[in-house]
Amino acid sequence: MNWRLLYSPWAWAEWFRTTSARLHAEHVAWNLRAVRPYIQPRMRVLDVGAWDCRLARAVRDELGARVTAVDVVDKNCTDVELRIMPAPASLPVDDDERFDAVLLLYVLHHAADDLALLREAARVVAPGGTVLVGEDRVESWRERVRTVAFHIWLLTFTFMGWKGRFRRIEAWRDRFASAGLAVREVIELDAEGRFFPRNLLFVLRPG
């Protein structure tokens, strides 16, 4: 117990700073563990919905990939190249540029038009490349309650609302097929923490 917390606002500020740094580091490590098997050194990786770009930096520094980040907002706190999307479902990627892996981690349910974003992912992924989609599980009503409650918490603390939908696995399969993406694997991930939703990683290939 830090007794200074009982009387010192500076102790609170310090506690908040260290806790927030620890949570950020744990989140990056957790995401990195999920994508690591699909990323090799020198691969071209596009991280869509990269938020603060900490994961993009870890993919570059720890896995040796060449990473570009994309988002609708600029929260970049790293030196990774971040491209701001000109419109919510339009990736700023020219026709002569392609990526070996496209990451859409916990992004699709935030997007008003997830199908358009998926079609964009299918457009920019290289032949034989991989699209990795992370989503929160809502297979049962309990999982849906947990997922929605978590996102209300997220909205409260980060003002990050969600404009799209949480879908069940079969509904996601249909969505991916409509975008021309085939499901190769569905991986059940552990919850990131005790109060977090359980998560899924979809491994997709064009065609």
Ligand X SMILES: C[S@@+](CC[C@H](N)C(=O)[O-])C[C@H]1O[C@@H](n2cnc3c(N)ncnc32)[C@H](O)[C@@H]1O
- Which residues sit at the interface with ligand X, rule CB under 6 A? 31, 48-51, 55, 71-73, 85, 88-89, 105-107, 110-111, 117, 160
CB of 164 to ligand X, least distance (A): 8
List the structure tokens of 131. Answer: 């699209």
Is the CB of 43 or the CB of 105 nearer to ligand X? 105
Report the residue number whose CB is nearest to ligand X. 49
CA dist., res. 172 & res. 134, Å (int): 11
CB of 121 to ligand X, least distance (A): 10
| Residue 22: Cβ-neighbour burial (10 angstroms; 0-12, 13-18, 19+) | exposed
How, if at all, do strands 181-189 and 99-105 pair? Answer: unpaired
CB of 108 to ligand X, least distance (A): 9
Give the residue from 95, 88, 101 showing the smallest Cα distance to 164: 88
Is the CB of 85 or the CB of 191 nearer to ligand X? 85
DSSP code, position 115: H
Is the CB of 89 or the CB of 115 nearer to ligand X? 89
List the structure tokens of 93. Answer: 């990627």
Is the CB of 51 or the CB of 176 nearer to ligand X? 51
CB of 60 to ligand X, least distance (A): 15
> Residue 126 is which amino acid?
A
